Amino acid sequence: MFGTGMGYTALSRVRTLEGLFLIDLHVNKFYCNENIDRVLSQMKQIKRKQLIFQNSSNYLNILFHNIEGLKCNFNALKNHHLTRHANLICLTETWLNDKIKKQILK
């Protein structure tokens, strides 16, 4: 039996359409909590910060990121739009060790 939010939680875990299996679906178990609209309207709006990187040789643009596993997140870092603006990239929690060869990260 679904409780509030369980339908959303279950469906939000699916990464691909092929990974979605709906067996013995009871549509009446999917519903919206009536308090959601009220809570959402009370939440502060998050203002997006402007990109602070400068396109000038007078500045050093530093990107500092907690990568939480460089090996598994390397492609995402390499392809992220902010990476190309950085002159220097500092990473924490790379979880690298001596066994991981440099060639893996090229």
For residue 88, give its domain range. Answer: 62-105
Q: Are 53 and 82 in contact (CB under 8 A)?
A: yes
Q: How many domains does the chain have?
A: 2
Query: Hey, what are 61's tokens?
Result: 């643009």
Mean pLDDT within 35-60: 82
Q: How confident is the model at residue 102 (pLDDT cuts 50, 70, 90)?
A: low
pLDDT band at 8 (very low <50, low <70, confident <90, very high): confident
Residue 83 lies in a domain: yes
Q: Is pLDDT at 1 greater than 60 in this prediction?
A: no
Q: In which element (H, E) is residue 75 found?
A: helix 70-79
Please give the pLDDT value at position 60.
95
Q: How far apart, in whole angstroms, are the C-alpha atoms of residue 64 and residue 86?
A: 9
Q: Structure tokens of 72? A: 């598994």
> Residue 82 has what DSSP assignment?
T
**Is it the case that residue 25 has pLDDT exceeding 90?**
no
Residue 97 domain-assigned?
yes
Asked whether the predicted pLDDT for residue 88 surpasses 90, the reply is: yes
Say if 50 falls within a structural domain.
Answer: no
Does 54 reside within a domain?
Answer: no
